[in-house]
A and B are shown apart, each in its own frame.
Chain A
């Protein structure tokens, strides 16, 4: 349990928290600044991936009067506070960690006292939980107000070192990194720098954006984000291009259809992004956001832009927002009309962020359509046959099968919707602007563009309100999982 052994094989960790939690923590931790420290316990969830660990801070267990020694400059936590934290741990599936401040201008490296504290609490809390995870964070500020942090932790006996803090919430996505990238080619985005400032451009460079669904809306969204200077992309789509995609998928060209098999959509979008920005870091995954392997990548991202326009993916992105604190913008389009007369071209953008309502709270899920989206072709065929048999018997066919009409979309409108959602992504990432409402619907063929927008709240008792930051420890309350008939996801080699 000695800290010296922790230095071996230490892997990186990312800490995610909501803006509300961070504000509460900072108010507390810097309340005795500039010369005195303060501390608090916090609860957190954990997801370990092959390469790293992502912890999600669920809540702050703020100290009460008498929980810590107020008469000394350093942190001294009394037993009553530790016992209260341990009792929380015993009754919960998530874990307890501690965060404390160092005085102004003092480096945030752990002192020998901090080492002792971590040795003590790691051992102490392990007696109150079947699973064992403990993290300890240190934060500080300089006279200039510059924020710094350090952190370390263990999941069972695996040691981690915190490299990044991601703070998310409506209107805020902030990444504090130990090794941020710096702009070297400002000329390319001179207008963006002028409009939003250098900090915004640096923020985009240090952002990781997931594009889930790399077709009609996803491809133009990625196109816009790449030109804006987003530094890292995770592209997710299970499908190969089809000829009909040429009409709306940016980055697809006639030459892609000269030989079979046609390329994967993530492949052509990766090529497009690299043509715009050869230094972009791109992970192209042939897979689906519901699959655990893909989720391992998504939990490292700043923002998820979901362009799949399916019922189950709305459930999945909402779950990623509240359990894993990954904010997202979900976009969909609908064109209505027939025989050459188009009556409506409707776009819909939904913001999912921890604390905001999920797709169920927003009534955006049709259970039958979601079930069909997840069915195997064999099951669909069997159900169609049973529906036909039921009709022959004079019974209703609907309980067996109802057709789900495909939604026709065309390139001019998917490009518009994809560009729109990308612009809101740029605004959210840079903190410069945010969608006017958390749910937006518009129809470009209606007067006033048929704008509908509202900010809803979570239904009382919904998972989206109760499981914020619970990560993998809320597995028993998962709402959507990957069907076993889906192919295993994989990262495309560059």
Chain B
């Protein structure tokens, strides 16, 4: 991972109120223990990949654990399963900065520290 991307993401994760962890290969951030409003799911992890050219390239999509009961209940089409580290995740079509209701992406403002709020709003939309 490019040293500047890593510096940037670690700085963003330091601003998080929630726990976030950086995976370097393939590059992604895992938000851990985010609250769910679904009765049978108290907490969930959500993975967001680091796009090529980040942070100029916008954050997009959200991944749920492959066995998550939230799949099909949160908004967004279910896409393919992808291996990140030692876990398998399912990509869900969620595009807050690309016509999905959020602000236009601006890397001076947005990052993993703000994307968590979009993810929390998404989890609450089920």
Q: How far is the CB of A164 from chain B (nearest CB, A)?
A: 26
How far apart are the CA atoms of A221 and B3 in the complex, in Å? Answer: 33
With A and B bound together, what is the CA distance between A315 and B105 in angstroms?
A: 14
Chain A residues, Cβ within 8 Å of B58: 367-368, 371
A479 and B57 contacting across the interface, CB-CB below 8 Å: no
Query: How many angstroms from the CA of A444 to the CA of B17 in the assembled complex?
Result: 54
**Residue from A396, A398, A479 in contact with B56 in the complex, judged by beta carbons closer than 8 Å:** A479
Given the contacts A360-B106, A386-B79, A475-B8, A370 and B56 also touching, CB distance less than 8 Å:
yes
Cβ of A324 within 8 Å of any chain B Cβ, yes or no, is no
Which of B40-48, B66-74, B93-101, B116-124 faces chain A? B93-101
Contact A367 B105 (CB under 8 A): yes
Q: How far is the CB of A312 from chain B (nearest CB, A)?
A: 5
Interchain nearest-CB distance for A131 vs B (Å): 13
Cβ 8 A contact of A475, one of B3, B57, B95, B108: B3
Q: Are A476 and B8 closer than 8 Å at their CB atoms? A: yes
Please state if B10 and A476 are interface contacts (CB–CB under 8 Å): yes
B18 contacts the other chain (Cβ, under 8 Å)?
A: no
Q: Which residue of A has the minimal Cβ distance to B80?
A: A382
B52 contacts A483, C-beta separation under 8 Å: yes
What mask results when residues 372 to 398 of chain A are scored 1 for a CB within 8 Å of chain B, else 0?
Answer: 011110010000001001100101101
Chain A neighbourhood of B56, CB < 8 A: 312, 315, 370-371, 374, 479-481
A49 lies within 8 A of chain B by Cβ: no
Question: Is there contact, CB below 8 Å, between B77 and A389?
Answer: yes
In the complex, which residues of chain A have a beta carbon less than 8 angstroms from the beta carbon of B52? Answer: 374-376, 379, 483-485
- Give B80-109 interface residues, CB cut-off 8 Å to A: 93, 95, 97-100, 104-108
B57–A374 touching, CB < 8 Å = yes
Is residue A399 contacting chain B, with contact meaning CB distance below 8 A? yes
Interface pair A484/B2, CB less than 8 Å apart = yes
Instruction: Indicate if B39 sits at the interface (CB-CB under 8 A).
Output: no
Query: What total of chain A residues lie within 8 Å of the partner, measured CB to CB?
Result: 36
Contacts of B99 in A (CB 8 A): 396, 398-399
CB of B55 within 8 A of CB of A480, answer yes
Q: How far is the CA of A400 from the CA of B95 in the complex (A)?
A: 8
Residues of A contacting B5 with CB < 8 Å? 478, 481
B2 touches A482 (CB 8 A): yes
**B77–A477 contact, CB under 8 A?**
no
Contact (Cβ within 8 A) B8 A478: yes
Contacting residues, chain B, for A368 (C-beta < 8 A) = 58, 98
Q: Is B114 on the interface with A (CB-CB < 8 A)?
A: no
Mark contacts of A461-494 with chain B using CB atoms, 8 A cut-off: 1 yes-contact digit, 0 otherwise. Answer: 0110000000000011111111111000000000
Q: Are A481 and B108 in contact (CB under 8 A)?
A: no
Is the CB of A127 closer than 8 A to any CB of chain B? no
Q: How far is the CA of A463 from the CA of B55 in the complex (A)?
A: 14
- 8 nearest interchain CB pairs? A374-B53, A483-B52, A476-B11, A399-B95, A480-B56, A475-B7, A367-B105, A478-B4
Known: A379-B52, A482-B2. 7 other contacts (CB 8 A): A368-B98, A370-B56, A371-B51, A475-B4, A477-B8, A478-B7, A479-B108
